[in-house]
Structure formats: C-alpha cells, structure tokens
C-alpha cells in the first residue's frame, strides 16, 4: 500500500507476510464456498456496487478472465479498457487518465510493457492499482502458485523450490514470494539471464534463502516444486540465440527425476511445449498447471477483497 493508505498491489515485497497469508486464507475460503454444494455462491455479494477497470496493453487469457469473473462473482462489475481505444492513444497523459479513472472506478488492474507507466499511474491515482504483469514482475501469478502448492502438499513454509530457465518477471515474483512465505528457492538460469541484481540484493537483506546456479540438475536437487516459464516473454524479442542459450534448461523427465520424490511441476502458462518443457512432463501427474490456472480466479478474489478492504474484508474473518 502507499503512504496515503491506498491498497495498491504492485509487488509481493511491498506487503508483509501476514497480509499475503491473509489474502490466501480468504482465497481458500471463497474457493471452498464456490465448491461447496450446500452454500450458494457468495450470497453476500461483498463487492456489489464496485467497479474494476482492466487496462491491458498486452495479450492476456488468465489474468483478464480471473479478474473479470472473480469481480463479477463477488457482485461487482468490470470495465475492460484497451489503451489503444482510449485517448491515451491520442496523447492524453497518464496523469489525467489516472485522475479520471479514479472518479469512475474502485480498482484498476494494469498489464503493461512499460513498468514506468504503472508507477506514473500510481503517482496520480486515488484508487488502488494492481499489477497484472510488467516486464519486471508478475505478483498475482505467484499468489496462485503458492495456493496451488499448499493444496497439494500442505504448508509451503520450509519447503524447497527450483526455478529453471529464464530469470524473468515471474522468477522475480517467485523470489519475492519465497522470501515472504518462508521457503527456499534455487534458480538455474543461463549467466546472461539471471534475475536482476536489485531483487537478489533485496532478498539477501531480507534474509531469504535464494541461490543462483547455472546447472539445472543442481537446482532441482531436493526440490519439491519445479517451476519454469516461456523462453520468450512478451517483453523479449524472439531470437534463435535466446532459444539456443536456453536449450540446456528444458524441464524434461530426466530432470524431474533428479528432484525430490513427488515433486510438482508448475508453469504460469501459456506454455511452449518442446521448448521450456517437454510434453511428457507437462502432461504428467506431477504437473499442476491447470490447478494453477484455476487458482488465479480464487487468488484474485482474495486479493480484490483485501484491496477493496474494510467491512467486506472483515466479513471473511479478517480485521481490516
């Protein structure tokens, strides 16, 4: 949150462990309500009268659907904004756009290829802004991933995870998640694709158990969860060089066998089968990728209830 008490959600590191844990507790309880046969779906409609804006400058399937459907299921409404159709495209400033959107909406989710854009919106906005992915981080994904791990394997604290591949935006948020939720993480990336130094320094200051290696086999040793992601993110230029550099980092059956017994496989999706992961791992019982995708919805609902806060949050058992 910002100094003025607005509950922005820009990165996991901005929030203490108790807040993040509470968001996941609420996510789990709203998921149980949805799956429970006896109870109707969110009878309280806790976000009735609230409107979410979704401003997406980059393609999205899961982020868009999970926020859109989650908001509706909680009783709120949604306005999907494509920057190309807004006056931003004709030069209206972010400062003015943020101040106008603040008069209409209750919360704004932003996906952008330009991290500075989200900072500028936060500077001017009087409503909470949620990071729906930037080239630098993807915090809402990691909430869903931790929720998914705990559904399959119990408490995440004290476990060991491995990241294999490009040290990208999702890897950065996973580092922040590991620090905040108290698990250790070893990342195997090519030397040229390590997560940016600034997040590693932050993790060290926080006392996080984050290790960087270049050998995937070393990274997955004793890991209970193996995570990877595309070799070409939306912010990357596709190149044969990139793919060649990442070639030794494919998650295949051989690599999974070097992990802890019963290790899970995670991927935020969309996947590129045959690049970062083989078909057999992707389709194996270890793979929980579609649970992760579903949990985007539940995690987003927990997050929206926290962001919009107050009485509605307390109704789910949390003091605001």
Burial of 2 (0-12, 13-18, 19+ CB in 10 A): middle
d(CA 86, CA 39): 41
Nearest to 99 by CA among 90, 88, 89: 88
For residue 268, say whether it is annotated as part of any ligand binding site. yes
Q: Is 224 a catalytic residue?
A: no
Site residue total, ligand CP (CB under 6 A)? 8
Q: Is 268 in the active site?
A: yes
| Residue 169 makes contact with ligand NVA by CB under 6 A | yes
The span from the CA of 233 to the CA of 177, in Å, is: 20
CB 190 within 8 A of CB 245: yes
**153 labelled ligand-binding:** no
Whether 242 sits among the annotated catalytic residues: the reply is no
Distance, CA of 215 to CA of 253 (rounded, Å): 16
- Of the candidate residues 26, 108, 170, 304, the single one contacting ligand NVA (CB under 6 A): 170
The rounded distance, in Å, linking the Cα atoms of 304 and 182 is 24
Catalytic residue chosen out of the listed positions 73, 268, 300, 318: 268
Distances from the Cα of 160 to the Cα of 69, 141, 247, 317, angstroms: 33, 18, 24, 30
Q: Which residue has the tokens 């909430």?
A: 143
Of the listed 296, 298, 312, 318, which one is catalytic?
Answer: 296
- Pick out residues in 47-76 that bind ligand CP (CB under 6 A): 60-63
Who's near 105: CB < 8 A, 6+ residues apart?
51, 52, 53, 79, 127
Catalytic residue flag (residue 318): no
Instruction: Report what 168 binds from ligand NVA, ligand CP, none; CB cut-off 5-8 Å by kind.
Output: ligand NVA
Task: Using DSSP, state whether 94 is helix, strand or coil.
Answer: helix
Instruction: Decide whether 68 or 229 has the Cβ nearer to ligand NVA.
Output: 229
Per the residue annotation, which of 106, 225, 229, 267 is the catalytic one?
A: 229
Give catalytic status of residue 64 as yes or no.
no
Q: Which residues pair with 251 in a beta bridge?
A: 277
Q: Does 168 bind ligand NVA (CB under 6 A)?
A: yes
Nearer to ligand NVA (CB atom), residue 264 or residue 293: 293
Q: Is 81 annotated as a binding residue?
A: no
- Report the binding-site residues: 60-63, 87, 111, 138-141, 169, 229, 233-234, 268-269, 296
Which spans of this chain sit near ligand NVA (rule: CB under 6 A)?
A: 133, 138, 168-170, 229-230, 233-235, 268
* Residues with active-site annotation: 111, 138, 141, 229, 268, 296
**Residue ranges that bind ligand CP, judged by CB under 6 A:** 60-63, 133, 141, 268-269
Binding site feature residues for carbamoyl phosphate: 60-63, 87, 111, 138-141, 268-269, 296
């Amino acid at each position: 949150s910002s100094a003025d008490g607005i509950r922005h959600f820009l990165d996991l590191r901005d929030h203490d462990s108790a807040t993040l844990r509470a968001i996941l507790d609420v996510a789990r309880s709203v998921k149980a309500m949805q799956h429970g046969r006896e109870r109707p779906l969110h009878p309280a409609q806790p976000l009735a009268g609230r409107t979410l804006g979704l401003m997406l400058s980059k393609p999205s399937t899961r982020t868009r659907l999970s926020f859109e459907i989650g908001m509706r299921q909680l009783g709120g409404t949604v306005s999907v904004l494509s920057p190309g159709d807004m006056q931003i495209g004709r030069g209206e400033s972010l400062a003015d756009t943020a101040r106008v959107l603040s008069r209409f909406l209750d919360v704004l989710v932003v996906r952008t290829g330009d991290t500075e854009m989200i900072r500028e919106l936060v500077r001017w906005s009087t409503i909470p802004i949620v990071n729906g992915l930037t080239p630098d981080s993807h915090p809402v994904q990691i909430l869903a991933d931790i929720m998914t791990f705990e559904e399959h394997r119990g408490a995440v604290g004290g476990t060991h995870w491995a990241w294999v591949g490009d040290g990208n935006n999702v890897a950065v948020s996973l580092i922040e998640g590991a620090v905040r939720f108290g698990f250790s993480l070893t990342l195997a990336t090519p030397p040229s694709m390590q997560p940016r130094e600034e997040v590693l320094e932050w993790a060290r200051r926080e006392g996080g158990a984050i290790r960087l290696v270049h050998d995937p086999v070393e990274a997955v040793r004793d890991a209970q969860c193996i995570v990877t992601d595309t070799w070409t993110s939306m912010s990357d230029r596709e190149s044969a060089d990139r793919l060649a550099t990442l070639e030794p980092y494919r998650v295949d059956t051989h690599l999974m066998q070097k992990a802890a017994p019963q290790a899970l496989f995670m991927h935020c999706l969309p996947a590129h089968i045959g690049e970062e992961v083989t078909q057999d791992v992707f389709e194996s019982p270890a793979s929980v990728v579609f649970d992760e995708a579903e949990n985007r919805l539940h995690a987003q609902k927990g997050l929206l209830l926290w962001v919009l806060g107050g009485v509605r949050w307390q109704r789910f058992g949390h003091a605001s």
